[in-house]
Amino acid sequence: MDQLLASLSGLDDYLAYLALALALLALFLAIYVRVTPYREFALIREGNLAASLSLSGALLGFVVPLASAIAHSVAWWDMLLWGAAALLVQLAAFGGARLLVPGLATDIPAGRTAQGLFLGAVSLAAGILNAAAMTY
């Protein structure tokens, strides 16, 4: 019984970090889909693979450093700070990809899978590097 109670002693911290991480994830998605010049969720509902690949990469590119922030933070506010940094890095990755492939704004709604995959890969690569940098 003592082992069970000891195991559950961190439940409140677990729930707090999980709730904050889910709130950050919702905030990221809300901001990201407003920054992009096309409507990802509508395109995905229509079966647009390019939109699905690009948004999936951005989502993973955000979640990977967010997980690192959770694992390495000293407190919930520290995780929020690094989560905000992860959000900014993802927005910068989108901006950088648009510089490299200027037609992204029209290519993804047109269903050009290569461009969607490229944007998703850029987003994921930025997230992995961001997560690694957070391990200081």
Residue matched to tokens 């079966």: 47
For residues 57 and 102, give the distance between their C-alpha atoms in angstroms, rounded to a whole number.
Answer: 18
4 pLDDT band (50/70/90 cuts)? confident
Taking alpha carbons only, the member of 104, 109, 106, 107 closest to residue 122 is 104
Q: Say what the pTM is.
A: 0.91
Sorted by sequence, the CB contacts under 8 Å of residue 127 that are 6+ apart come out as: 60, 61, 62, 63, 64, 65, 86, 89, 90, 93
2 pLDDT band (50/70/90 cuts)? confident
Q: Are 31 and 91 in contact (CB under 8 A)?
A: yes
Give 27 or 10, the one with higher predicted confidence: 27
pLDDT tens digits along 30-53: 999 999 999 999 999 999 999 999
66 pLDDT band (50/70/90 cuts)? very high
Query: What is the residue extent of each domain of the chain?
Result: 2-133
